[in-house]
Chains A and B, each alone.
Chain A
Amino acid sequence: MKHVDEYRDGELARGVTRRIAAEARKNREYRFMEFCGGHTHAISRYGVEDLLPENIRMIHGPGCPVCVLPIGRIDDAIRLAKRKEVTLCTYGDLMRVPGSNGSSLLKAKADGADIRMVYSTLDAISIAESEPNRQVVFLAVGFETTTPPTALAIRLAQKKNLINFSVFCNHVLTPSAIQAILESCDANDPGAVQIEGFVGPAHVSTVIGMAPYRRFATDFHKPVVIAGFEPLDVIQAILMLVRQINDGRSEIENQYRRAVAEDGNRKALAEIEDIFELRESFEWRGLGEIPFSALRLRDAYAQFDAERRFCVVTQSARDNPACECGAILRGAKRPQDCKLFGVACTPETPMGACMVSSEGSCAAHWAYGRFRRHEQRRAAS
């Protein structure tokens, strides 16, 4: 497949990894976080870790919007869906995410709630148009990548004067989460691993550009290399990070120049700015409350805000206390260090944030990488 196969070429990959091996200093460890689930998925699916020298460790970050959606908001969505007048439209990957007491949208659907899986916000608009007697609520989740499509849907609903369409907004912001992770690493947490650099988001950066990451270079002295989601992108970004560390640089570099412009997508950003405003604080599953890390609809668009239309009051709900997702998301622990991993917590019965979506670090390790542990054991015995 043109424009895809080139970025999955094993021969080219071996060339880059040979350079990483040659340039990475043997007397130290390099610890990088790939923030996005898309990168985690690429690393796991293509076996990228097998190609890296042992002293380069990738820490899987919290960049999966399904994973970080807190239980309380899932409960809200389920309550909304159970209202007689409501048709809840959602992306399919949210259906199985567990809420409180073993509930999920999938189970609510089986109980008779009107929940429809859509592939685009525009599908939700079409449903609202064709079924004017239903209150159609779009369950909006995601980072900056999926915010513009939600904005577009609200703008369309406004133009079409759709009074039966609203959005339950759970959009969150990438830079705020990276900052929270860096601050938690600085808080002298004895278990915390110092992250030395970031493989920066791909699709998110096409929207927000490079500027929002600058403070990580200036204030925290951490290099960020924005990278595409193909495996060759990832290892090239790792080589660029190794070079920055070796040179003592902390810069924002753009490996994903074929898609990311310095200023991002100005039109999308203007639309987001017009429709959404910052929440003072928002809960992230596994990371807790993070200030100014999420969006809600501005007053001017209150009529399209499901939270106001249906008076949603979120009640926080706790994860299983044995769940190590918080520590895993900060890089302090690995999936296999969690007592629940692979025992009580599997992709079929996810307990914590990192297992609920295939892009979560625990799910990726379970689905693609768990043989490594057994091979290491076998090699050691």
Chain B
Amino acid sequence: MNKHEPFGRKLDFRNGRVDLSHGSGGRAMARLIADVFHTAFDNDWLRAGNDQSAFDVDAGRMVMTTDGYVVSPLFFPGGDIGRLAVHGTINDIAMAGARPLHMSASFIIEEGFPLADLRRIAESMGEASREAGVPIITGDTKVVERGKADGVFISTACVGVVPSGLELSGDKARPGDVVLLSGSIGDHGVAVMSRRENLAFETAVVSDTAALHDLVARMVDVAGASIRLMRDPTRGGLAATLNEIAHQSRVGVRIEEASIPVKPQVAAACELLGLDPLFVANEGKLVAIVEREAAESVLAAMRAHRLGKDAALVGEIVDDDHCFVQMTTAFGGGRIVDWLSGEQLPRIC
């Protein structure tokens, strides 16, 4: 064994595949972690080589979240499972108005998974985490037999810190508040759908996957506690998010269909597939419930940010014991926007 290569044989990134030895705790696993994950995520915490990482925190309120990613296909227009995992986890923290600090990533890899794909995913995660300024400081790797997982599953955790005086929560919407949406809906779900094996259609739609914490920070700067709550409308789409808010806060929500941005190509794809963009997933959008007086300034702050340039006021919170989400259709009639029944699109995140 060469002393410069303590973990034995180099990984063959051209033709090599993950095998059970890569999860067995031996040299092969150490090599995989070093050459794939440490290389891609590179930071001092990982270089220390411990089973955990320590960091100092300021006094204050902390938030923590955990998330799992099983998207199929693993690579889709505008992103991949790795990028999605970083963004989705950061967004869960950001929706508390918090600043994300550090995250972890754990991989469950199926035997036979191409090493090149694993490296591509890890590099994409590293890039996303550097862009967001949220390092991945600890992780885990497991390999399961062929057929026991679908390529690779990623689970993550993240901690963040909330500015003092801010307590966003799903039960804080009050009649009179307004509903702000940061941009067009349905992009992620349609982008993933467009790459499904049995549903190939040419489309220019790319996933909107993005980390929203910087946009959130700008909003908090201008409005602080005038922001009642924020949510990112992922699975179940805008419809599910608004229904969650209505039920948690025991209020009704009224929205205007004409004010909700939907890209024409997303609308067209939804039309073909019989989907309603209101129920299609997003990975780089947020809904904010804001005091009416602060709406203009928050909206201006959102529109000044690249991730909120199409932000719009789409509705208001009303008094309603039934907690209905109602919509005035662009056609001029009224309808309920209900929870999704069953599954519209499986495995989109």
CB-based contact A10/B330 at 8 Å: yes
Chain B hits for A96, CB < 8 A: 342
With A45-B329, A47-B329 as given contacts, are A1 and B268 in contact (CB-CB < 8 Å)? yes
B331/A348 in contact, CB under 8 A = no
Contact between chains at A8 and B330 (CB < 8 Å): yes
Choice from B264, B322, B324, B335 contacting A1 with Cβ under 8 Å: B264
Contacts A1-B267, A1-B271, A119-B199 given: A371-B333 contact, CB under 8 Å?
A: no
Least Cβ–Cβ distance between A20 and chain B, in angstroms: 13
Whether B332 lies near A14 (C-beta < 8 A) is: yes
With A123-B198, A358-B341, A369-B336: A48-B331 Cβ-Cβ less than 8 Å = yes
Interface string of A27-63 (1 = CB under 8 A from B): 0000000000000000011111111000000000000
Q: Which residue of B lies closest to A350 (CB)?
A: B341
Some 18 contacts from A to B, beta carbons below 8 A apart, are A1-B268, A4-B271, A8-B331, A9-B331, A10-B329, A13-B331, A13-B332, A47-B334, A50-B333, A50-B334, A118-B198, A119-B199, A347-B342, A358-B341, A363-B341, A368-B335, A371-B322, A374-B322
Contact in complex: A371, B334 (CB < 8 Å): yes
Instruction: Report the contact-size class of chain B (Cβ under 8 Å from the partner).
Output: 20 to 34
CA distance A366 to B328 in the complex (A): 17
Q: Tell me, rounded to whole Å, the shortest Cβ–Cβ distance linking B186 to chain A.
A: 13
What are the 10 tightest A-B residue pairs by CB atom distance, in nearest-first order? A47-B333, A347-B341, A50-B333, A46-B331, A368-B335, A10-B332, A47-B334, A367-B338, A47-B335, A46-B329
* Known interface pairs A1-B268, A367-B341; A47-B322 also in contact (CB < 8 Å): no
Q: Which of A49, A123, A367 contacts B333 (CB 8 A)?
A: A49
Min Cβ gap B138→A in Å is 35
Q: Say yes or no: A51-B333 contact (C-beta < 8 A), given A96-B342, A123-B198.
A: yes
Most chain A Cβ neighbours within 10 Å, of B268, B276, B329, B333: B333
Residues of chain A lying within 8 A (CB to CB) of residue B332: 10, 13-14, 47, 50-51
- With a cutoff of 8 Å between Cβ atoms, the chain B residues found around residue A369 in the complex are 335-336
Query: Within the assembled complex, what's the spacing in Å between the Cα atoms of A46 and B336?
Result: 10
In the complex, whether A370 has a CB less than 8 A from a CB of chain B is: yes
Cα distance, A363 to B341, chains bound together (Å):
10
Instruction: Kindly report which residue of chain A lies nearest to residue B196, judged by CB atoms.
Output: A119
Q: For residue B271, which residues in chain A have a CB less than 8 angstroms away from its CB?
A: 1, 4
Q: Hey, which chain A residues are within 8 Å of B104, CB to CB?
A: none
B residues in contact with A368, CB < 8 Å: 335-336, 338
A231 CB within 8 Å of chain B: yes
The 8 A CB mask of B263-289 against A (1 = contact, 0 = none) is 010011001000010000000000000
Instruction: Judge whether B338 and A366 touch: CB under 8 Å.
Output: yes
Q: With contacts A8-B330, A348-B341 known, what are 14 further pairs, Cβ within 8 A?
A: A9-B331, A44-B335, A45-B276, A45-B329, A47-B328, A47-B335, A50-B333, A118-B198, A119-B198, A367-B341, A368-B336, A371-B334, A371-B336, A374-B322
A374 contact set on B, CB distance < 8 A: 322, 324
A239 to B200, CA, bound (A): 40
Segment 200-243 of B: residues with Cβ below 8 Å from A: none
A46, A123, A347, A348: residue with the most chain B Cβ atoms closer than 10 Å: A46
C-alpha spacing A162/B329, complex, angstroms:
48
Interchain CA distance A368-B276 in the complex, whole Å: 13
B348 CB to closest chain A CB, in angstroms?
15
* Residues of chain A lying within 8 A (CB to CB) of residue B72: none
| B156 is an interface residue with CB less than 8 A from chain A | no
Contact indicator per residue, chain A 231-273, by CB within 8 Å of chain B (1) or not (0): 1100000000000000000000000000000000000000000
State the CA gap A231–B341 with chains docked (Å). 23
- B91 in the interface, Cβ–Cβ < 8 Å? no
Show the binding face of A for B, using Cβ within 8 Å: 1, 4, 8-10, 13-14, 44-51, 95-96, 118-119, 123, 231-232, 347-348, 358, 363, 366-371, 374
Shortest Cβ gap from B332 to chain A (Å): 4
In the assembled complex, B326 has its CB within 8 A of some CB on chain A: yes
Query: Cβ of A4: which chain B residues have Cβ within 8 Å of it?
Result: 271
- Closest residue to A363 on the B side, CB-wise? B341
B217 to chain A, nearest CB (A): 36
Q: Chain A residues near B331 (CB, 8 Å)?
A: 8-10, 13, 46-48, 51, 231-232
Q: Report the separation of the CA atoms of residues A367 and B271 in the bound assembly, to the nearest whole angstrom.
A: 19
Chain A residue nearest to B322 in the complex (CB): A374
Q: Compute how far the CA of A375 lies from the CA of B338 in the bound complex, rounded to whole angstroms.
A: 17
Expressed in whole angstroms, the Cα–Cα distance for A51 and B267 within the complex equals 24
How far is B329's CA from A307's CA once the two chains are assembled, in angstroms? 45
Which residues does chain B contribute within 8 Å of A347, judged by CB atoms?
Answer: 341-342
Q: Once the chains are docked, how many angstroms separate the CA of A50 from the CA of B332?
A: 8
Contact pattern, B 118-140, Cβ under 8 Å of A = 1, otherwise 0 = 00000000000000000000000
Using CB atoms, name the residue of chain A closest to B270. A1
Distance A8 CA – B271 CA, assembled complex (angstroms)? 13
In Å, the complex CA distance between A118 and B197 comes to 11
Alpha-carbon gap, A123 to B196, bound state (A)? 13
Are B326 and A371 in contact, CB atoms less than 8 angstroms apart?
yes
Within 8 A of A (CB), among B16-42: none
Nearest-neighbour CB distance to chain B for A30, whole angstroms, equals: 18
Most central of A95, A366, A371 by chain B CB within 10 Å: A371
CB distance from B198 to the nearest CB of A (A): 6
Minimum Cβ distance to chain B for residue A170 (Å): 20
Q: Enumerate chain A residues within 8 angstroms of B324, measured Cβ to Cβ.
A: 371, 374
The complex places the Cα of A347 from the Cα of B341 at a distance, in Å, of: 6
Separation of A374 and B318 alpha carbons in the complex (Å): 15
Min CB distance B190 to A, Å, is 13
Min Cβ gap B325→A in Å is 9
- For residue A358, which residue of chain B has the nearest CB? B341
**Which residues, 296 to 349 on B, are CB-close (under 8 Å) to A?**
322, 324, 326, 328-336, 338, 341-342
Q: How far is the CA of A4 from the CA of B335 in the complex (A)?
A: 20
A363 to B329, CA, bound (A): 19
CB-CB contacts below 8 Å: B154-199 with A: 198-199
CA distance A44 to B322 in the complex (A): 19
Which A residues are in CB contact (< 8 Å) with B268?
1
Across the interface, name the chain B residue whose C-beta is closest to A49: B333
Tell me how far the C-beta of B208 lies from the nearest C-beta in chain A, rounded to whole angstroms.
Answer: 19
Residues in A with CB closer than 8 Å to B338 are 366-368
